[in-house]
Structure 1
């Protein structure tokens, strides 16, 4: 199905997706549970919610080779690490700072692609990366005015970006071999197993939480996951780069929600740095969206590649 056949305007589901993913940081802020517990139950409940759909595609499990099984598990390890680091960052810094730093994901993907896959880049891409990095430094500088712990939160958020890029790099190599439902289930379930073991090792309490916390665990598994389901559906009508523009929407949506629901404010340095990060990422993605001129041979076919590295996980 192409873009002209989509049943509703593209802006509506994309807006719903951005709003859904923007609530992720708010739920973490509302919770008093350890970050590793929040991460574990989010992944565990998300796996359970996917089970009825995955049952329809259960025959695909027989096609998973030992090598791909190991890669799926490793992808789950990176995803578990991402959530623990990011949820931990929200315990130290503001929603705005943490989510804006997450917007650096496409640029970290660019760096990773250069070193791991020898992917070439352009001067303009390096320039936009420089703008975003300056913005991230300004956010950290602004956080010094809040507390020394806020800097720790910024660092944890950036480390979570590195972890999620590792998850995406593995995903782009194997996701086409299964349906996205099977891939998501295997990765989510692997991440939940890793987090269960981690919580057992650090002796984090897994039970005894009040009803409010269990509600937050469930909301984390449902609401942000709605965003991923919508984005997967949108891939039938638009390319992945278009969907990745939601990276710019999440910090804005989360910051607005944090202002009204958490009473969080912003310093001048944070606002200026955040704008630079968003501008840098916006120009980077816009550049990626403009195809380079191609001289066609008489029988040449044009295939539009999907840039999997830019997809967002929250």
Structure 2
């Protein structure tokens, strides 16, 4: 994002680094929840409860309040994030992980339209080229896995599409909310709303809301902190980094998650996957340099 003089506005560099660190933290999510005894929807609920708790406490410690103004400007983000969480985790249970992740990776295609039409951002040729290349890289990473192609249900794939559109909506509404709220106010507001909305969804699932495994609670707590910090950093970056860049940076998270699983758990990567990961990394790097 450049000003009329060609110089980046103050805070742009810090905002980009916040987005990069946030996406890095997002990429650890699938690794942290490995072998967790929670069901998908109860885990999503408790993660939101934890994230909302520390954000609200931090907000009050800094002299802020979770008042009607904060909740009003956070409402849209909380609603679409709850929709994303419920549909994505359900899609994971009814279709293949590969299908869900590849469908989710197409979000930047819609976000480029939102960035141009809604926020008036200039979409450079580099970004236009990098986006389909990055999506293709994610497709290679997940569809090249054993059993990656097919095997899912049509209903699960439809839920994955809804989840992808909801996530695109979350990024767009978050950008609008940051015109009125600080990053911490918005974090406390949307996560509280999303946690409240996720409670009935979790209760209606076939999985118990409470488990007796202490390790699962520790993992949920870690995820509440890391995922919450990731959202806080990305939402902070909305004031300084174009939506087109943030949307493409998000593609790096699932690709990096595969790398962490290979490094920590010796999950094998096929030949096409070794091509897909560099495609994602190079595409994201091109967009970072473009900013």
Deviation for aligned residue 1:30: 2.9
* CA–CA distance in structure 2, aligned partners of residues 177 and 124 of structure 1: 31
Corresponding residue of 1:79 = 81
Corresponding residue of 1:25 = 30
**1:202 partner SS:** coil
Deviation for aligned residue 1:102: 5.7
Whether the 8 Å contact between 2:121 and 2:242 is mirrored in structure 1 is: no
Whether the 8 Å contact between 1:100 and 1:278 is mirrored in structure 2 is: no
Change beyond 3 A, Cα 1:286–1:15? closer
Q: Deviations over 1:180-208 (max 9, x none)?
A: 22211111011111110112233542123
Residue 131 of structure 1 is aligned with which of 133, 151, 172? 133
Whether the 8 Å contact between 2:138 and 2:251 is mirrored in structure 1 is: no
Which ranges in structure 2 are unaligned for 5 or more consecutive residues? 1-8
Corresponding residue of 2:196 = 193
Segment drifting more, 123-132 vs 167-176: 123-132
Aligned length: 277
Change beyond 3 A, Cα 1:118–1:250? closer
Whether the 8 Å contact between 1:103 and 1:277 is mirrored in structure 2 is: no
Segment drifting more, 217-226 vs 38-47: 217-226
Whether the 8 Å contact between 2:47 and 2:223 is mirrored in structure 1 is: yes
Corresponding residue of 2:50 = 45
Residue 61 of structure 1 is aligned with which of 47, 63, 67? 67
In angstroms, what is the RMSD of aligned CA positions?
A: 4.2
**1:240 partner SS:** coil
Rg larger for: 1
Whether the 8 Å contact between 1:258 and 1:264 is mirrored in structure 2 is: yes
Which ranges in structure 1 are unaligned for 5 or more consecutive residues? 290-314
Segment drifting more, 256-265 vs 188-197: 256-265
Corresponding residue of 1:265 = 268
Deviation for aligned residue 1:98: 7.0
Q: Deviations over 1:148-178 (max 9, x none)?
A: 4479888866654432210111122222212
Deviation for aligned residue 1:125: 3.6
TM-score, structure 1 normalization = 0.68
Corresponding residue of 1:299 = none
Change beyond 3 A, Cα 1:205–1:194? same
Change beyond 3 A, Cα 1:276–1:150? farther
Change beyond 3 A, Cα 1:107–1:196? same
Q: Deviations over 1:99-154 (max 9, x none)?
A: 78766554431034456667664554433333234334434542464464479888
* CA–CA distance in structure 1, aligned partners of residues 266 and 92 of structure 2: 15
Whether the 8 Å contact between 1:25 and 1:90 is mirrored in structure 2 is: no
* CA–CA distance in structure 2, aligned partners of residues 272 and 262 of structure 1: 20
Change beyond 3 A, Cα 1:201–1:285? same
Change beyond 3 A, Cα 1:178–1:241? closer
Corresponding residue of 1:210 = 213
Change beyond 3 A, Cα 1:135–1:250? closer
